[in-house]
Structure 1
C-alpha cells in the first residue's frame, strides 16, 4: 500500500510510461539489440530492443522510428505491424519504471549501426549494440528483454507476423 494509505496513490507517483520498441531485422533476418547495464552497477547487464517513451503528442509509430534513429543511427527502416505488447515493471537507475510497451516489426537494409544521439541516462547505461542471428540469440546465456525474445523471434521468422498483436505475460522485477 502507498505510504499515505490511499488506494491507487502508487499510480500517482509511478505513472505508466507508454513505450514503442523496434524488432529490427536486416536482410539476413538478424535482429539488432542494444547492450545495457545498471549505471551504478555495471556488472548488471542485459540486451534489449531499441525504443523508448513517447514524447509530446507523437504516436507510437513516430516514437519507434525516432528512437531507432536516435539510438542506432538507422534512419532507413520500414516500420511494420505491432507484433507484441507487454506491461513491465522494473527498478532502474534508482527508481521504478512501469511501462506499457508495444513492439513493432521493422526491416532495414542499413546494417551499419552505431550508438547515436543518446540521452544522458542512455550514455550512462548503454554499452553498445550488435546484430544477432536467431541461433545466436537462442544460445545466449546473457539476459535479454523481453525474456522470451529468442522464442518469439524464432516464431516470427517461421510463421511471419501475427494477425493481431500478441499480449506477452507481464514482467515484474
Structure 2
C-alpha cells in the first residue's frame, strides 16, 4: 500500500488525503447537450480493471485557486477541444460526492455539474479533440460519444452518475434554478 501522506503519482498532485482517510479532490463536470438533445459522455476504465468500463460526464479536478466555472470550462476544453465562455454554463445544476476506486486507491470527489448546450454543427465525434488529454486520460479513456437519452437508458454498462438520463431530462427545457444534490454515491 502506498504512503497515505501524499498523493500517488498515478492519481496526480490534486488528490490529497482527506479527513475520512480517502484521497480527495473537488471536481467540476459539464452536462453538454447538442441541438438534438444528445449528451456528450466519455467511456473509460481503470487500469486495474480493464474489463470494467463505464460512461461518465466530461470534467475533472478543480485546481488550487480556480473557480468551479473556470475548472468546468478548462476540463471541457482539455478533454474535448470545445471552448465555451463562462456565460455558456448554467448552474451548477447538480452536486454529489462520489466515492470510487481508481489506480488501486479509494477516492472521494465532491462534484458540481454545470449544464451547457452547443448550438449549430458540433462536428460529431470527429470534431472532438484529444489534444489536451493528460497521460492518465490517454491511458484510461476509451472513447467519447454523443448519446440520446433514450439510447443511454438502454446502455448495458455502468453510467455515472446513476440515473443520468432522468437527471438530464428535466433540464432539456431549461434549468429551474434549483441545485439538486445527489448526495454520496459509491461507484
TM > 0.5 fold call: yes
Cα separation, 2, equivalents of 1:10 and 1:167: 21
Where do residues 112-123 of structure 1 align in structure 2 (5 Å cutoff)?
Answer: 112-123=127-138
TM-score by structure 2 length? Answer: 0.81
Residue of structure 2 aligned with 1:50, choices 54, 58, 62: 58
TM-score by structure 1 length? Answer: 0.87
Cα separation, 2, equivalents of 1:143 and 1:12: 26
CA contact (8 A) 1:85 1:168 kept: yes
Which residue does 2:5 correspond to in 1?
A: none
For residue 15 of structure 1, report the CA deviation from its aligned partner: 5.0
Unmatched tracts of structure 1, length 5 or more: 1-8
Which residue does 1:75 correspond to in 2?
A: 83
For residue 115 of structure 1, report the CA deviation from its aligned partner: 2.4
For residue 41 of structure 1, report the CA deviation from its aligned partner: 2.1
Higher mean alpha-carbon deviation, 69-78 vs 84-93, is at 69-78
Per-residue deviation, residues 35-93 of structure 1 (Å, max 9, x unmatched): 11011321110000000111121101000000000001111462112110001111011
CA contact (8 A) 2:73 2:84 kept: no
For residue 160 of structure 1, report the CA deviation from its aligned partner: 2.8
Which residue does 1:27 correspond to in 2?
A: 35
Equivalent residues, number: 164
Which residue does 1:169 correspond to in 2?
A: 183
Unmatched tracts of structure 2, length 5 or more: 1-16
